[in-house]
Structure 1
């Protein structure tokens, strides 16, 4: 079975409170985008995992695709599988690529072996692998809260808009991103602001990580400003960085720009 785990962007990201378990409560809108990996899972005589494309640090046993299979195999009688991941979404880029790979592994295994696992149980499996993994089970826009693993429906469609995503290759760890954050309640209700026209978001819908990371990495702020200069209606950093995105009213040709960076562009879903 071949699937294409896609990335997501954060539209607004408020760090609200430090939790007793070491995590933070957040509020954000998660929105799926088309930048995707390729993941193949097929029955095999012995279990194996292979990856191509971008280098994935860490041991094979720590890969979330492997953990997803092992987690479900512990509850169901599954044969061995061969997993092949083509890693295209940048790693440590605020796009949820690893989380998406994990969630799509769960969905693919469920479909491949006709396990008929409910959406709710698939989300429970995904939450055990990472805070935002569960989002990719249904893979549609949501208002995310608590650790980013609880969701409410959000009435938001950017279908027909065009997005340009620029990753300059700066790897920002979660620990680094949170080190400069002071949690606080946001000044605005993100759910209400998202009902406003896209043009109203610019000075209101903010990613809290930008404040400190733009000081440490001025290039990120420069890219955001470049996206506005090229005509973006709204631009922001996604997650804890380092990918910047701009949302445009129509397709835009940026040939000759951002050539040093990893860039993806396309229509929004």
Structure 2
């Protein structure tokens, strides 16, 4: 049994809109956000072992602390309920400090694995959200609305239209805490109400009326993020351009795969050091 292993995936998270609506007394911020999960992912190999261990490889492994990370924090929440120890190998493909919730996605993947494969009851969302505000929403990887401090999640039925995304990261690590602390207006309106989206046109028009409340302060502190947004905006057939999370990754939306591929290649050709990936959204 200890030789058996399981391959688990953790998809990147993208905030199509992110409204900051208030702050609790403990300094956690209230959010209202629409979240999707493109097919860009970290990989985790989990297997039974004599002792617990975490190893890390992959393009962005150097940016993860091997002694203190979200995988260890997630394991600590359930280890007392397990009948044996486990080793976890993480292949880190999602940029770090990038607004893509990679650490939260890894935590959620660990919790989901033990819940599904070992029938372990995982803690409530209020506890899980203390690892990272994005951990509860990452448990599902469905199109969702997120509220509260991240613990209130609501699945949204995906529409039948096609939508593609290009993600661009300029290679800088942005502190989520720093962005929230720099925010002057914290009591903003939540998302506009909606009942569903029948066409991509309806959806894009809705998103255009929403915002990311952290985008302005991120662009002010890191001008390269504004540069990224401008480069995406200039691509052909772009429907929407916005920053995800607290940055530094930005995205563009497109109606067809060929448009997204063309945008990806154009930006890659122009900025060799930037991380640029396309993916289907719906």
TM-score in terms of structure 1 length: 0.89
Residue 276 (structure 2) aligns with: 263
Where do residues 69-108 of structure 1 align in structure 2 (5 Å cutoff)? 69-74=75-80, 76-108=81-113
Offset at residue 124 of structure 1 (A):
5.9
Residue 185 (structure 1) aligns with: 188
* In 2, Cα distance between equivalents of 1:184 and 1:90: 30
Identify the range of structure 1 (47-56 vs 194-203) with the bigger mean alpha-carbon deviation: 194-203
Residues 110 and 45 (structure 1), Cα distance of their counterparts in 2 relative to 1, 3 Å cut: same
CA contact (8 A) 2:165 2:279 kept: yes
Offset at residue 140 of structure 1 (A):
0.9
Offset at residue 194 of structure 1 (A):
7.0
Identify the range of structure 1 (93-102 vs 149-158) with the bigger mean alpha-carbon deviation: 149-158
Residues 139 and 211 (structure 1), Cα distance of their counterparts in 2 relative to 1, 3 Å cut: same
* In 2, Cα distance between equivalents of 1:89 and 1:56: 11
Residues 158 and 150 (structure 1), Cα distance of their counterparts in 2 relative to 1, 3 Å cut: farther
Offset at residue 201 of structure 1 (A):
4.0
Structure 2 unaligned blocks of 5 or more: 1-5
Q: How many residues matched?
A: 263
Identify the range of structure 1 (47-56 vs 161-170) with the bigger mean alpha-carbon deviation: 47-56
* In 2, Cα distance between equivalents of 1:79 and 1:122: 23
Offset at residue 202 of structure 1 (A):
5.9
Structure 1 unaligned blocks of 5 or more: none
Residue 255 (structure 2) aligns with: 249
* In 1, Cα distance between equivalents of 2:77 and 2:95: 25
Residues 223 and 153 (structure 1), Cα distance of their counterparts in 2 relative to 1, 3 Å cut: same
Q: Confirm or deny that 1:238 pairs with 2:240.
A: no
Residues 192 and 105 (structure 1), Cα distance of their counterparts in 2 relative to 1, 3 Å cut: same
* In 2, Cα distance between equivalents of 1:205 and 1:158: 22
The partner residue of 1:14 within 11, 19, 29 is 19
Identify the range of structure 1 (229-238 vs 191-200) with the bigger mean alpha-carbon deviation: 191-200
Deviations 1:33-68 (A, max 9, x none): 1110010100112221100121134352x2221222
Offset at residue 26 of structure 1 (A):
1.1
Where do residues 189-228 of structure 1 align in structure 2 (5 Å cutoff)? 189-192=191-194, 195=197, 197-201=202-206, 203-228=208-233
CA contact (8 A) 1:171 1:242 kept: yes
Residues 19 and 192 (structure 1), Cα distance of their counterparts in 2 relative to 1, 3 Å cut: same
Residues 122 and 37 (structure 1), Cα distance of their counterparts in 2 relative to 1, 3 Å cut: farther
Residue 63 (structure 2) aligns with: 56
* In 1, Cα distance between equivalents of 2:9 and 2:48: 18
Residue 3 (structure 2) aligns with: none
